[in-house]
Structure 1
């Protein structure tokens, strides 16, 4: 008779404890080795950052169609089959703002690009090369100089044409500086009127002083220096915006890029703030702050998923509507339904999670929404100011 022998026991490579699963029960180290093919490492990286495995099938449909269901599941301890609230919110926040930036990036500031007449100073803003700037400058300055050289022209008119020539040169030089090319030198008789060239500079100097310096005594010197650099960037963006003309569009584009670079961080900050607002309004429900934080994470995840869906449908509608108008109208109806579903969902979620009567739920829903709206508006304004100092 063959003697039965026990099967060999696998030991943890870190602490030599007997393994009874995919992780060591003693030290927590995974059984999986880090020495593996690159394809497996890429899969692990995707799982680490997105974790969008089969659990997304169990997470997204109830999150969008069943208000409060996912939150109550977490409160009950049933979490394994769902994506974690913060990871869910994080991924869809980035995706929503990415596509929103793409959508808003098509907005034209100060008129459509490339449509300014060649005899307008705004035409310099669309020049792609220094040679193109010089060509535009030569075309515009030629007419001004020929009129200025007319011997029958009064002196006052000649002075005005000299100022116009200065305006053209300054506009050309502003674009040449952006293209990192040498500026055009000033010629005799070409001066620009101060109020036409630097009205933005005058406004900024009047509001903040000609040479502002931020020096807060209780802050370290490096922080004060960083604040001064940021404020100089803020002034540099504000001046062309106030001046208008060829530099406004590029300044607004830079401000927009800076704004969207800090907007996700702003929303990450507002999520615990919203949880704190819920805690204050439901202080007598004796719920932990962490419970309100989960409500906040799921609420914002739903909002970001809705915004993402609306952006994608807008792209699809713009592409389909010119060819199939009926399909474009159908997409518009779906978008309208999604906008209506947004406030209804949040109201029903609040009712199911906190389990109060409809009158009290509606009252608190309106109060919480009002408080959060003003807090969010304040945060967005701060994000916009930070974007201007980017």
Structure 2
């Protein structure tokens, strides 16, 4: 949308003379103040996200030309593209928002799928318990065939020191009615899940609570998801450090590896954000294929961008990629474990 510039050549911010559209002294745009709401809104959005030029000039090559943004950044062509850190923050917020929403949708679907099964188990339990109530009164000195191994013992009340005229009492030593009914139905009695991981009793107790209590599990998962963006932000400089080690002969500074790492992670987050949106439109049966496709694309993208940035041979690039993936996977697993335990302790 066309902007309306002031006819006056004085800067409203610093008072200097404005030769063209921007003040040469403070950089403020000499734009008309009295604009309608549409102009003001679009100008603000365009200025923040750089939709007018920088946004699309950055996103398109990020997808189609691996490594180009990093090359142009260090070639001095920075005004034409988004700042790498600003772009990473914006894309990571978008990705983790969609990731959280998608995880909640999947958990809701699992709960809805399990609901009919749980209802069936409850119905079987009630029917079994009703049957056992009818079987709890067997004749004295006999064992009901339906009791199935339950023991009924007749005791002489005179031996028990009783003065009543009753001849005896039946003592039932078998399982409870509910357990007997469940066994008859072929279902093992449900018991809380016990976790024994060889750690401190406090951590073991918290883990057992999370595994057995639906509310605690939901709170734990939501809290764990909230820590993932922080974990990935910390892993970024570590990823760049590994890159510097495997490309120590490239004579590049650490900041160059860091900017490249930011661009790679920005692509991964934005690409998987698109896959999440596509997955919502396609049948659930294609979910695994979409994930496999995404993994293959990410592997190819990192390989292709490493070749463009570090100019190594094909096999040397594959070797560096393998080492990078191995070390980064170990760091990812270690940091994920730390975040998991820390989140568990704060529950």
Which interval holds the TM-score relative to the shorter structure? 0.5 to 0.7
**What is the match of residue 4 of structure 2?**
none
Q: Would you say 1:90 and 2:89 are equivalent positions?
A: yes
Q: Would you say 1:292 and 2:291 are equivalent positions?
A: no
What is the alpha-carbon root mean square deviation over aligned residues? 4.3
SS at match of 1:18: coil
**What is the match of residue 378 of structure 1?**
334
Q: Would you say 1:368 and 2:324 are equivalent positions?
A: yes
Structure 1 residue 340, shift from structure 2 partner: 2.6
CA distance change for structure 1 residues 157 and 250 in 2, over 3 Å: closer, same or farther?
farther
Distance 1:43 1:35 in 2: 14
Distance 1:73 1:270 in 2: 24
Q: Cα deviation per residue 1:241-276 (whole Å; 9 max; x = unaligned)?
A: 444xxx3x4443333222222212221221222112
CA distance change for structure 1 residues 111 and 241 in 2, over 3 Å: closer, same or farther?
farther
Distance 2:193 2:256 in 1: 55
Q: Which runs of 5+ in 1 are unaligned?
A: 1-7, 124-136, 165-192, 213-230, 322-327
Number of residues paired by the alignment? 302
**What is the match of residue 112 of structure 1?**
113
Distance 1:199 1:358 in 2: 51
Kept in 1, the 8 Å contact 2:306–2:317? The answer is yes
**What is the match of residue 16 of structure 2?**
17
Q: Cα deviation per residue 1:284-313 (whole Å; 9 max; x = unaligned)?
A: 333222211110111111211221232223
Q: Would you say 1:357 and 2:313 are equivalent positions?
A: yes
Q: Which runs of 5+ in 2 are unaligned?
A: 1-6, 140-150, 153-170, 181-188
Aligned with 2:234 (options 233, 256, 269) = 269
Distance 1:385 1:253 in 2: 16
Q: Cα deviation per residue 1:132-175 (whole Å; 9 max; x = unaligned)?
A: xxxxx9x79995995798597954458835999xxxxxxxxxxx
Kept in 2, the 8 Å contact 1:68–1:353? The answer is yes
Structure 1 residue 82, shift from structure 2 partner: 2.3
Q: Would you say 1:240 and 2:209 are equivalent positions?
A: yes
Aligned pairs (5 A) from 1:161-310: 161=177, 196=191, 199=194, 207-209=199-201, 236=206, 238-243=207-212, 247=213, 249-310=214-275
SS at match of 2:260: helix
**What is the match of residue 278 of structure 2?**
313
**What is the match of residue 347 of structure 1?**
303
Q: TM-score if structure 1 supplies the norm length?
A: 0.61
CA distance change for structure 1 residues 350 and 118 in 2, over 3 Å: closer, same or farther?
closer
Q: Cα deviation per residue 1:27-58 (whole Å; 9 max; x = unaligned)?
A: 44554588876555544553465434443333
Distance 1:119 1:82 in 2: 59
Distance 2:47 2:235 in 1: 24
Q: Cα deviation per residue 1:83-136 (whole Å; 9 max; x = unaligned)?
A: 322233223323333333333331466883422444757x9xxxxxxxxxxxxx
Q: TM-score if structure 2 supplies the norm length?
A: 0.68
- Larger CA Rg, structure 1 vs 2: 2
Distance 2:323 2:192 in 1: 49
CA distance change for structure 1 residues 22 and 280 in 2, over 3 Å: closer, same or farther?
farther
Kept in 1, the 8 Å contact 2:133–2:177? The answer is no
Kept in 1, the 8 Å contact 2:211–2:217? The answer is no
CA distance change for structure 1 residues 199 and 267 in 2, over 3 Å: closer, same or farther?
closer
- The 10-residue stretch of structure 1 (10-19 or 297-306) with the greater mean CA deviation from structure 2: 10-19
